[in-house]
C-alpha cells in the first residue's frame, strides 16, 4: 500500500471499529476463493475487532468438485485413446481412491492447459484420440467452456468432448441460508462471478432472506470498504445488495457471456463435495450439443468408494468451522499431501490458512 492507501485503510478500520461497538457479534462470509486468499494475504482478519468474524464459503470450484466426478475423470484417463485436458489444480484433487496425478504417473495422458480453447488445438493435433476437457468452475469460467464447444462445432472438430461439473453460486448461497448450522449476517460477494451474472442476481439475499451483500474487488482497500458497507447496513437494519465493483460489474452482467452459456448449458441438480446435492446448482450440456458430452458419447459406470476420514472440509466449506478445528489440518493434511480438497487448490481456505497462518498484518 502507498501512503494514501494506508491513510484510507486506517480510516476504514476506525469506522469499522466504531460500528462494531454497536453490535454483539457478526459473521460475514466471503464467497470467492480469490477473496479468501486476498483476505489472508493482507491480514485483514487481524485488523478487525474480535466481534466481527470473517468466515469462508464454498467459493473454490476445485474444492467442491465431488469424489465421483474425479473417479470418472480418472476412469476416462485410463482409456487408451483418451487425452485429458485440465487446469493444473485439478491434478491433486483426491477421488475416492486416487487422483489424476497418480493416473498420470501410471501412464495416463493428462495435459495441463490455461484455457478450454487450448483443447481445440490439442484435438486437431491428435485426431485419433478423444480429447476430454474437465469442465470445472463457476459462472466465471463456464462461458469459456461453452464458447469452446461452439468453436469446436463451427470448426468441425469432432474429437473434443466435455466432462462437465460446473457449479452455480446463487443456489449454493440459498442452501447456506437454509442450513441451521450456518449463521451468516452478510456476504462479501464474488466480483468475478458478478461480472458474468450481474449484481442483480444476488438480490434474493436481501429480498428473501433480509441478508445484505456487497459485490467487491480483490484489493485490501476494496475488501475493507465492503466490510464497512456491510456493517453500516447491519447497524441500520438495512438489507441491500451494493455494487462496489462498478468498474467491471453491472446490474445485469455480461449479456453476451450469459447468452453463450445458456445456449450450450442448462441447470441441473449437482453434488457439492462435503455438502451434498443442491437443487439446480450445476450445469449440463443441452441435448443439441450431445455430440460434445463424453458421458453421452461414451458412458462409463464408475464405482465410487465410500471412505470415512477425519477430514472436515464439508463444514469448512459451509463456514461452520475454521480449518484449525479439523484434526487433520497441518498434520496429516498439508498442501504437499492433501487429504481434503480445501488443501489442494491455492484458493482453498485450508491451503490459504496453512500458507499465511494468521495472516500478515497491514502496517497502518
Question: What local confidence, expressed as pLDDT, does residue 199 receive?
Answer: 98
Which of the four pLDDT bands, split at 50, 70 and 90, describes residue 1? Answer: confident
> Residue 164 pLDDT > 60, yes or no?
yes
For the chain, the C-alpha Rg in angstroms (whole number) is 21
Region 195-206: what's the mean pLDDT? 98
> Which whole-number Å values give the CA distances from 41 to 38, 223, 347, 356, in the listed order?
5, 12, 12, 6
* Angle subtended at Cα 325 by Cα 323 and Cα 331, rounded to the nearest 5 degrees: 75
Mean pLDDT of the chain: 94
The pLDDT value recorded for residue 309 is 81
Determine which of 1-15, 76-90, 136-150, 152-166 has the lowest per-residue pLDDT on average.
1-15
Which residues are registered as beta bridge partners of 216? Answer: 190
Q: What angle do CA 195, 198, 204 make, to 5 degrees?
A: 140
Q: What is the grid cell recorded at 140?
A: 466465471
Q: Which H/E stretch holds residue 169? A: helix 169-177
Among the listed ranges 90-104, 259-273, 302-316, which one has the minimum average pLDDT value? 302-316
Residue 24 CB: number of other CB atoms within 10 A?
6
pLDDT tens digits along 24-50 = 999 999 999 999 999 999 999 999 999
Model pLDDT for residues 148-157, shown as the tens digit of each residue: 999 999 999 9
Of 279, 268, 244, 299, residue with least CA distance to 142? 268
Q: How far apart are CA 350 and CA 323, in angstroms?
A: 6
Q: The C-alpha cell of 228 is what?
A: 464497512
The DSSP result for 309-334, as a single string, is: -S--HHHHHTTSS-GGGSTTBTTTBB
Q: How many CB atoms neighbour CB 123 within 10 A?
A: 23
244 vs 3, 7, 112, 234, CA distance in Å? 22, 19, 35, 17
Walk me through the domains of the chain, giving residue ranges and CATH numbers: 3-61+177-243 (3.40.50.11750), 67-168+253-297 (3.40.50.11740), 313-355 (no CATH)
Any residues with CB less than 8 A from the CB of 276 and at least 6 apart, and which?
none
| 358: confidence class by pLDDT, cuts 50, 70, 90 | low
Q: List the end-to-end C-alpha distance of the chain, in Å, as a whole number.
A: 9
Q: What is the pLDDT of residues 119-146, one digit of tens each?
A: 999 999 999 999 999 999 999 999 999 9
CA dist., res. 32 & res. 175, Å (int): 16
Model-level pTM?
0.94
Residue 161 is predicted with a pLDDT of 98
| pLDDT at residue 259 greater than cutoff 60 | yes
Task: Provide the pLDDT confidence category of residue 362 given band limits of 50, 70 and 90.
Answer: low
Work out the average pLDDT over 302-329. 89
Strands, E, within the chain: which ranges?
26-30, 52-56, 82-86, 109-112, 130-137, 160-166, 186-190, 213-216, 241-243, 265-272, 276-285
Give yes or no for residue 308 having a pLDDT over 90. Answer: no
Q: Is the pLDDT of residue 306 over 80?
A: no
DSSP class per residue in 97-144: S--HHHHHHTT-EEEE-SSTTHHHHHHHH-TTSEEEEEEEE-TTTHHH
Tens-place pLDDT, residues 273-292: 888 999 999 999 999 999 99
- Pull the grid cell for residue 130: 478423444
d(CA 223, CA 57) in angstroms, rounded, equals 15
- The percentage of the chain sitting over the pLDDT mark of 90, rounded to a whole number, equals 87
With 90 as the cut, is the pLDDT of residue 337 above it? Answer: no
Amino acid at each position: 500500500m502507498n501512503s494514501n492507501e494506508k491513510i484510507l485503510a486506517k480510516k476504514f478500520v476506525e469506522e469499522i471499529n466504531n460500528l462494531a461497538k454497536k453490535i454483539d457479534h457478526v459473521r460475514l462470509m466471503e464467497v470467492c476463493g480469490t477473496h479468501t486468499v486476498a483476505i489472508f494475504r493482507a491480514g485483514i482478519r487481524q485488523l478487525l475487532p474480535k466481534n466481527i468474524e470473517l468466515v469462508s464459503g464454498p467459493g473454490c470450484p476445485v474444492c467442491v468438485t465431488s469424489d465421483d466426478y474425479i473417479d470418472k475423470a480418472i476412469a476416462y484417463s485410463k482409456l487408451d485413446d483418451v487425452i485429458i485436458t485440465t487446469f493444473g489444480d485439478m491434478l491433486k484433487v483426491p477421488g475416492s481412491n486416487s487422483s489424476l496425478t497418480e493416473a498420470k504417473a501410471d501412464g495416463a495422458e493428462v495435459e495441463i492447459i490455461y484455457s478450454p480453447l487450448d483443447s481445440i488445438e490439442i484435438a486437431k493435433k491428435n485426431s485419433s484420440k478423444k480429447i476430454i476437457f474437465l469442465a470445472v468452475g463457476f459462472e466465471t469460467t463456464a462461458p469459456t467452456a461453452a464458447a469452446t464447444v461452439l468453436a469446436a462445432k463451427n470448426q468441425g472438430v469432432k474429437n473434443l468432448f466435455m466432462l462437465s461439473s460446473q457449479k452455480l453460486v446463487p443456489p449454493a448461497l440459498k442452501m447456506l441460508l437454509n442450513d441451521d448450522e450456518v449463521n451468516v449476517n452478510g456476504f462479501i460477494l464474488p466480483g468475478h462471478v458478478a461480472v458474468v451474472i450481474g449484481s442483480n442476481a444476488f438480490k434474493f439475499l436481501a429480498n428473501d432472506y433480509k441478508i445484505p451483500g456487497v459485490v467487491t474487488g480483490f484489493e485490501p482497500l476494496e475488501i475493507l470498504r465492503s466490510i464497512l458497507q456491510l456493517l453500516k447496513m447491519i447497524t441500520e437494519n438495512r438489507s441491500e445488495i451494493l455494487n462496489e465493483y462498478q468498474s467491471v460489474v453491472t446490474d445485469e452482467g455480461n449479456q453476451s457471456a450469459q447468452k453463450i452459456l445458456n445456449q450450450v448449458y442448462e441447470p441441473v441438480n449437482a453434488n457439492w463435495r462435503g455438502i451434498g446435492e443442491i437443487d439446480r446448482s450445476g450445469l449440463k450440456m443441452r441435448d443439441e450439443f450431445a455430440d460434445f458430452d463424453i458421458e453421452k458419447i461414451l458412458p462409463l459406470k464408475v464405482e465410487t468408494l465410500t471412505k470415512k476420514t477425519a477430514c472436515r472440509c464439508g463444514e469448512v466449506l459451509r463456514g461452520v468451522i475454521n480449518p484449525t478445528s479439523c484434526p487433520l489440518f497441518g498434520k496429516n493434511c498439508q498442501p504437499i499431501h492433501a487429504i481434503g480438497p480445501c488443501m489442494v487448490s491455492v484458493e482453498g481456505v485450508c491451503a490459504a490458512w496453512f500458507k499465511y497462518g494468521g495472516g500478515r498484518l497491514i502496517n497502518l
